Structure 1
Amino acid sequence: MGVRSGAAQLTVFATLLAVAAVSLRRPVWAAEQPLPAGARPLPVVSPDEPRRRRPVALAALHNGHIVTANSRSGTLSLVDPTSRAVLAEFHVGGTPADLLRITENTLAVADEQGWLRAIRILDRNRAIELWQLAVGRGAVTVERIRGGRLLSVSCLWDRCVCIVDVDEDARPTPAVVQRIALPFEPREQLGLPKHDALLVADAFADHIAVIDTRDWSVRAVHRFPAHNIRGLATDSRQQRLFVSAQILNEIAPPRPSDIIWGVMITNGIRSLRLKDILDPQGEPTTDSRFIPLGDGARGAGDPDALIVDSTGRLAVVVAGIGEFALLDHGGYKLQRVPVGRRPVDLVALNESRFAVANELSESISLIDLNPPPQRPNDRPEGGTSPATADTTARDSDAGTSPNTAATSDRSADYAARPSRSAYYGDNAGPYVADSTYSVSPYGEPDTEVLVIPIPLGATPPLTAADRGEMTFFDARLSRGNWFSCHSCHTDGHSNGHLADTFGDGGEGAPKRILSLRGVSQTPPWSWNGSKPTLVEQVRASAARTMQGGGLTPQGASDVAAFLATLKPLPPFRPARDEHDRRTISEGRRLFESLGCVECHRGETHTSMGVYDVGLRDERGNTRFNPPSLRGVGYRRGWFHDKRARTLRAVFEEFEHQLPRRLTESEIGALLRYLESL
């Protein structure tokens, strides 16, 4: 009996040790404290409930867990990369666009609907909203400045950066303390504490602004060859600035050879000397280098988020072809592996592991540069074979579009070859098929990279608009994978440039790239009004401009369905007060009395006709369909070829279609009316 008692004591002791060990491994949360005053518990939703999430941003918490901001569902997903489990999904509302970790388990969430929120993750079942603050229309990114006491928010449609004071010692509640106006729509930001500066990049075209974080003045606004700037990063010494972007050659037509050799559009990372950016008189390209991410038939359409990891390597996601790319600190030894569909953000978890948010495949990809050795017997009972699972995982996550009439062999488009599949996991959850790729950096021995997909939850069946969205953002629609529809029509808007697209039946007459916001409401299509249906216009663009095999009729119909979901641009400058409203009304009466409504009429401010506008293009054309004037103030040039550099120049310099010369007060009222559209 004494022996049995001793054995029982040993069993209890061992059990206590096991419990203690589990407790030590359990994530440390800032839990069990009273909720702060005014905090709002966030509803928990089930990842098993089918929904479109659209993860667009990532943040890593102090305990190694990952949070995704899901723009479509208005939720945050909490993911454990070790167990590959979605621990929880919290509903925050709105349209989350960016995440920034501001304390161990507190996140700042920028919301495109105009809000900045602070969300605290208490544990795997609880999260609270600490506060929310109205900042501005189209809040798309958030950055930390002054040691985290202040946050800066890019407000896309207000063309400003809002500075928010979140220092609890200085004020009881967060507040907007500055609004810094910019001459472009801002998106990406990068704080430079060593230089008391904040860099802000153009969301669509080619500007970078330098804001002084001491007095909030705009030190400089630079332009350099670029558009779709989606990543900003510096080296550890803050001597070089790296910018992921595209470059469009406005006079290069879409000949197949000009596409596959990057003459029309090229994709990569621009390395700039930071002191040239910080200098108001500096020339950004004085000591610059372009690092291409693709070549020949292995294009790299739509480079997106960019980071420099702790070892100095450059990591970037290539959204248009669903790849993760890694370069050494000099920008050489390029490695590329496939991830999910439209990867748009990434974080470094440690020196060998990265996490990637795949917007259109509703997943995270974990990248392991030092994968564990293969365990051949580690396969779940009744599971698919490694080869089948590998193919299934890749096709479901980053597979080819069903809408293309012809697609290239994907294996030829990667700098990585599938070498094996492995199954890892614990007995508590389902196994996931992982893909290991044998990567060959140029001139280097093969290395293996493990890619682990983690779905964020159940999804509903794809609609026509969902399929069209996938096609719109897919660079494999173009010859050699060099560009997507998004490359020119950024997020459905415009990159602000000219392009020679063969859209008017020939070459040599580049036209301004039109916004597609509200495009389904403005027939006919093409500058010369030659396309009576949007489906015809989509098919013509895919065949003539992208030269990649074209779209099936169903594929073109799907893209048109997606375009129909794009709302018109918001007003450039909404009415501020009663005096401003009177000025706008006067401008509207003038617009009507001058006969402008003959071409620009109704709610869409356009018409079905084609008119001789007295402006000749390089091919002798003078007859054009009038573009809608909704959001006309956001344009980066006016008329078909941007010959009018300002909206004022349309009336002062060109006196466009005016029956008489206008007075200064009339021009002011007319401009104010147009800016209100």
Structure 2
Amino acid sequence: MVVFALPALSTSRLCASGFCLLMLSAAVGFAANPSALRRPIALELAEDGKTLYVANSRSGSLSVIDLNNARVVQEISLGKKLSDLVRVDGRPWFLATDEEAGELLLLQAAGQNVKIWQRLPVSPYPVSVVISPDQSRCYVTSIWSRRLSVIDLPLENDQEAKITHVIDLPIAPRCQLLVRDGSKLIIADAFGGRLAVLDTQSLELIGIREFPGHNVRGLGVNNDGTMLLIAHQMLNELAHTVRNDVHWGLLMSNDLRWLKLDAVLDPKADLYGGAHMHPLGEAGSATGDPAGLTVAQDGTVVVALGGVGEVAVGQEEDFSLYRIRVGRRPTDVTINDAGTTAYVVNTFGESVSIVDLAEREAKGKIPLGDLPDPATLSEVDRGELLFYDARLSHDGWMSCHSCHTDGHTNGMLNDNFSDASFGAPKRVLSLLGRTGTEPFAWNAEAKDLVTQIRKSITNTLQSDNEPDEDQVAALAAYVRTLPGPPSIDRLRGVADPVAIDRGAEQFRSLGCVRCHRPPTFTTPRTYDVGLVDKLGNNRFNPPTLRGVGQRGPYFHDNRAASLEEVFRKHRHQLKRDLQDTELFDLLAYLRSL
């Protein structure tokens, strides 16, 4: 972990340093098109509980809802792709992250009047923000740059927020949670089952805690602060993608895990001592893709079930949680101070559901605009809906997103029939930047994307229905739009062009181009490269190296923990040992792809 301390700078010096601040005294503009897709992603109540603010990802706007009348009274264009929203207690301020613009927005809000007070550039691709209990500091996670920005918040209305530290993380972060009066910060891996624990006083990483899970989209603590709650999925590499294993939740389960907070914070403690788990769903009625969660003061937990359009409600001692139908792809939840009402943002439903927690019933839905007729959506937009829809699988256990998190990879091993065998589980491949990299699957058996998607629906998801060709085409259209993950070195500003050029020459001279030929950095054949799976198969199609610096572990069975291990420990396709400088250059080149 690397920590960069940034000195306090004046506004003029910040602009000169690339941390330019923008202060607006006038209200920002309206989002004009009521039928446009907003894709709401986060929501937050005003302190008086009368107004609800909703951050929209696709439109980059903020919807303002008057809860007395249960309707949108204002929609304001704020940025490009909002990813999170939190309230600053005691002051009329909210913080929003803009993933595409790479900014933290400090907003002044009073009812429907919202102003941008400051735009603060942060590390690229910010996806979440949390605020310290004393409201003096916030923390912003950035997924692809794998960084945490530590920001001092203004104490007075005429002051500015300032970045004080930028911390390199060993995981791709998304969800985060402050615990123990803000003295510890728990940061979840966006893809796999790892939790980074940070001491917020020293800004030192205490440790990495691993558990068998992935797709962590919700973190919380119970009402007495003794248990950490994690909403996640769990892929079992020992199970097979056959109807029996899918039906009984043996292959993929969706869970609310309860861990002793003391054990999470102590890297030497038994992580599972005193722990337990609520299975979310059951055979015949599963709950793919759990998402955001929140906990009321009386201990009631509400978990969004993104893949099936429901929320689960209950308490720790309940044998199972009660499920309530809401809108399409619920992703975030907040509860009023009285603990009586939950508000659920439906990302694909373009709405907010109102849930009565005492009666455990959805009481209504507030549309954010005109919900488009699915028939009028573009093929790509229809494909996006299907990609995150667990109802495409048998009983609703999983969606495409369950293994290919937001199109990337959960980094797990899966024993499916795409390689025409069971007994040799293989790493889930990323779908980012795969356009033009046919064929697909480790054995290159799928000649094109449409063929692979059809196989995945039938064999992996074990769909109850034959794949509809329009669905397959829409999914393929969506996947083709997914860009490759950006270079982590470039995002961190540490890319060395000279080393990259030398590494490119190493890549050619070592013969890497035989299998990983530019510009796709793969080839359509299979090769024996000295790797053998558990069934003796030794010919594999080389995965594209686009975005390889954002993946890991490596090889078909995750045997290499890092890119360096690929060459140092496993000497992959090397005819000679590499000097330290040669390896440095080669890795710099690979991370640049």
Amino acid at match of 2:397: W
Equivalent AA in structure 2 for residue 464 of structure 1: E
Which position in structure 2 is the counterpart of 1:215?
202
Partner of 2:550: 634
Equivalent residue number for residue 506 of structure 1: 421
Residue 336 of structure 1 pairs with residue 334 of structure 2: no
Distance in 2 (alpha carbons) for counterparts of 1:170 and 1:470? 42
SS at match of 2:489: coil
Letter paired with 1:316:
V
Query: Aligned partners of 2:484, 2:151: CA distance in 1, in Å?
Result: 29
Distance between the aligned counterparts of 1:610 and 1:38, measured in 2?
A: 56
Specify the SS of the correspondent of 2:134.
Answer: helix
Distance 1:668 1:458, change over 3 A: same
Aligned counterpart, 2:191: 204
Q: How far apart in 2 are the matches of 1:498 and 1:597?
A: 27
Deviation at 1:169, TM superposition (A): 5.6
Structure 1 gap segments, 5+ residues each: 1-35, 371-446
Question: Residues 108-138 of structure 1: CA distance to partner in whole angstroms, max 9, x if unpaired?
Answer: 00111211111122442x3211001111121
2:364 equivalent to 1:449? no
- Conserved 8 A contact 2:552-2:563: no
Change (3 A) 1:575 1:110: closer
* CA deviation string 1:265-305 (max 9, x = no partner): 11111111110011121221122101111111111111111
Contact 1:489 1:515 in 2 (8 A): yes
Contact 1:267 1:301 in 2 (8 A): yes
Secondary structure at 2:523 match in 1: coil
**TM-score normalised by length of structure 2:** 0.91
- Aligned-residue Cα RMSD (Å) equals 2.0
2:104 counterpart residue number? 116
2:167 counterpart residue number: 180
Residue 62 of structure 1 pairs with residue 47 of structure 2: yes
Amino acid at match of 2:417: F
C-alpha contact (below 8 Å) 1:572/1:632 kept by paired residues: no
Alpha-carbon displacement from aligned partner over 1:64-111 (angstroms, at most 9, x marks no partner): 211111100010100123312110100011210000011453210011
The reply to whether residue 529 of structure 1 matches residue 444 of structure 2 is yes
Alpha-carbon offset, residue 520 of structure 1: 2.4
Residue 641 of structure 1, CA deviation: 1.2
Between 1:100-109 and 1:242-251, the stretch displaced more is 100-109
Deviation track 1:9-44 (CA, whole Å, cap 9, x = no partner) reads xxxxxxxxxxxxxxxxxxxxxxxxxxx993253433
Residues 601-612 of structure 1 aligned to structure 2 (within 5 Å): 601-612=517-528
1:632/1:675 contact within 8 Å kept: yes
Give the partner amino acid of 2:271.
P
- CA-CA distance at 1:595 after TM superposition: 1.2
Letter in 2 for 1:451: K
Q: Distance in 2 between matches of 1:632 and 1:249?
A: 24
Which residue of the partner structure matches residue 477 of structure 1?
392
Distance in 1 between residues matched to 2:321 and 2:476, nearest whole Å: 36
CA-to-aligned-CA distance 1:130-169 (integer Å, 9 cap, x gap): 0011111210000011511000001111112110111336
Q: Equivalent residue for 1:377?
A: none
- In structure 1, give the amino acid aligned to 2:200: T
| CA offset digits 1:317-363 (Å, max 9, x no partner) | 10010001101242445211111110000111232211100001111
When residues 524 and 89 of structure 1 are mapped into structure 2, their CA distance, relative to the original with a 3 A threshold, is same
Over residues 602-638 of structure 1, what are the superposed CA-to-partner deviations in whole Å (9 max), with x where a residue is unaligned? 2322222222222111222222221111221222211
The residue identity in structure 1 corresponding to 2:266 is: D
Identify which of 64, 85, 98 aligns with 2:71: 85
What is the match of residue 21 of structure 1? none
Name the aligned partner's letter for residue 108 of structure 1.
L
Does the 8 Å CA contact 1:47/1:457 hold for their aligned counterparts?
no
Partner of residue 16, structure 2: none
Query: Aligned partner of 1:656: which letter?
Result: H
Equivalence for 1:100: 86
1:352 paired to 2:264: no
Q: How far 1:478 sits from its partner (Å)?
A: 1.1
Aligned equivalents of 1:228 and 1:37: distance in 2? Answer: 35
Correspondent of 2:467 among 526, 547, 551 = 551
Any idea what SS the aligned residue of 2:42 has?
strand
Partner of 2:287: 300
Match of 1:135 among 103, 113, 122: 122
Aligned to 2:154, the other structure's residue is in SS state coil
**Aligned partners of 2:366 and 2:485: how far apart in 1?**
35
Q: Distance in 2 between matches of 1:319 and 1:448?
A: 18
Unpaired segments ≥5 residues, structure 2 = 1-20
**Is the CA contact (8 Å cut-off) linking 2:426 and 2:557 kept in structure 1?**
yes
**Alpha-carbon spacing, 1:552–1:579, altered in 2? closer, same or farther (3 Å):** closer
Q: CA contact under 8 A between 2:23 and 2:119: conserved in structure 1?
A: no
**Distance in 2 of aligned mates of 1:575 and 1:292:** 38
What corresponds to 1:224 in structure 2?
211
Corresponding residue SS for 2:188: strand
Rounded to whole Å, the distance in 2 between the matches of 1:69 and 1:579 is: 33
C-alpha separation in 1, matches of 2:329 and 2:46: 23
Q: 2:17 is matched with which residue?
A: none
Cα offsets for 1:633-675 (capped at 9, x unmatched): 2222111111122211211222212232222221111112112
Mapped partners of 1:569, 1:514: distance in 2? 13
Amino-acid identity (%): 38
Alignment deviations for residues 231-276 of structure 1 (CA, whole Å, 9 cap, x no partner): 1111222111111111111121112111121111111111111100
Please list the CA deviations of residues 504-542 of structure 1 after superposition, one character each: whole Å capped at 9, or x if unmatched. Answer: 112111111111111223111111111122111101000
Note the alpha carbon deviations across 1:555-598, whole angstroms, 9 max, x for none: 00000111112111101212877992211111111111111112
Contact 1:159 1:184 in 2 (8 A): yes
Kept in 2, the 8 Å contact 1:571–1:630? The answer is: no
SS at match of 1:574: helix
Cα distance in 1 for partners of 2:96, 2:180 equals 22
Amino acid at match of 1:363: S
Partner of 1:556, secondary structure, is: helix
Q: 1:72 to 1:656 in 2, by over 3 A?
A: same
CA distance in structure 2 between the partners assigned to 1:271 and 1:171 by the alignment: 43
8 Å Cα contact 2:278-2:320 kept in structure 1: no
Of the candidates 140, 145, 148, which is equivalent to residue 161 of structure 1? Answer: 148
Residues in 2 aligned to 1:487 and 1:629: alpha-carbon distance in whole angstroms: 22
Please tell me whether the aligned partners of residues 254 and 288 of structure 2 are also in contact (alpha carbons under 8 angstroms). Answer: yes
Corresponding residue for 1:661?
A: 577
TM-score, length of structure 1 as denominator length? 0.80
Query: Residues of 1 paired with 2:544 and 2:495: CA distance?
Result: 27
Alignment of 1:365-376 (within 5 A): 365-369=353-357
Contact 1:575 1:581 in 2 (8 A): no
Q: How much does 1:49 deviate?
A: 2.9
Matched-pair contact (CA < 8 Å) for 1:118–1:129 = yes
Q: How does 1:451-470 map to 2 (within 5 A)?
A: 451-460=363-372, 461-470=376-385
Q: 2:93 and 2:491 mapped to 1: Cα distance?
A: 37
Q: Distance in 1 between matches of 2:292 and 2:235?
A: 19
Displacement after TM superposition at 1:217 (Å) = 0.6
